[in-house]
Amino acid sequence: MRVSITVNGEVREAEVWAGESLLTTLRDRLDLPGSKNACEQGECGSCSVLLDDELVCSCLVLAAQADGHEVATVEGLADDGSLHPVQDAFAATGAVQCGFCTPGFVVAAADLLRRVPDPSDDEIREALSGNLCRCTGYQKILDAVHLAVER
């Protein structure tokens, strides 16, 4: 089937399988591999995107469900080559090691700061507890979110 999705402000069309996830469509058909696939079960948050401004795991959304809707991915966060404050903070604090979790984290953290401009440690931990990171132990991610608030 054919779907038409507005991705990062641009209308994109793709031919997809009936059961195909939005994540697969983004990665394999629309050349947007920034969103990652680490579980395909909604457990890790590596595939986090905004669907009509709502944070979702794109592995749990069918491409067909996104038909006619707006999707924002990690690729759309940086503005004209300058990093989003959350991205910049992740780079500055050492919140990135292998980086496989990073796209999901920056999308989720940017969404958190949009809703809660100055979150406490506990609020950050809770809001980002759906995103797994195997490398950092999360501490520097916490630092990054606080730093992004300052900026």
Q: How far is the CB of 80 from ligand FES (least distance, A)?
A: 26
Residue 57's binding partner, choosing from ligand FES, another protein, none, with beta-carbon cut-off 5 to 8 A by kind? Answer: ligand FES
Give ∠ CA 138-142-147 in degrees, rounded to 5. Answer: 145
Cα separation values, 75 from 14, 60, 124, Å: 18, 19, 23
Distance in angstroms (rounded) separating the CA atoms of residues 84 and 91: 11
Partners of 6 in beta bridges: 11, 70
Nearer to ligand FES, 13 or 24 (CB): 24
Burial readout 99-110 (b: 16 or more C-beta within 10 A, e: otherwise):
ebbbbbbbbbbb
Nearer to ligand FES, 120 or 139 (CB): 139
Stretch that binds ligand FES, among 8-16, 83-91, 99-107, 116-124 (CB under 6 A): 99-107
Q: How far is the CB of 31 from another protein (least distance, A)?
A: 8
Quick check: 37 binds ligand FES (CB under 6 A)? yes
Closest residue by Cα to residue 99 from 23, 34, 31: 34
Stretch that binds ligand FES, among 5-13, 35-43, 107-115, 116-124 (CB under 6 A): 35-43
Quick check: 129 binds another protein (CB under 8 A)? yes
Tell me the two tokens of residue 88.
Answer: 């910049």
> Applying CB under 8 A, which residues contact another protein?
17, 27-28, 32-41, 43-44, 46, 73-75, 77-78, 83, 87-88, 90-94, 96-103, 106, 122, 124-126, 128-142
